Amino acid sequence: MTTAYFAQSVISFGVALGSVALGVVFLPIDPWVRAFLAVAVLYTVTSAFGLAKCVRDRQEVVSVSSRVDQARLDKLLSEHDPYKVENL
């Protein structure tokens, strides 16, 4: 995630949202239809943000779980001595 990539993503999102907003504003339709389309666009945008957050959170949980498992395995391997003889 570079700064340029982040900036490109933000600019792309802004252009896309602005284009749809301008399209809705200048459509030759009744105001109530225009308002319905505007609410639909806002709902789509907010649900996309919510979905992106859920995907990010799920990836984070998997990553944390994987790191915990790896730490446990590293600890077991570091404590294991293959040359140690058990007293019976």
pTM of the model: 0.61
Residue 2: is its pLDDT beyond 90?
Answer: no
Residue 33: is its pLDDT beyond 90?
Answer: yes
Domain edges within the chain: 30-79
What pLDDT, on a 0 to 100 scale, did the predictor assign at position 71? Answer: 84
At 18, list the tokens: 């602005």
Cβ density class 60-79: b for 16+ within 10 Å, e for less: eeeeeeeeeeeeeeeeeeee
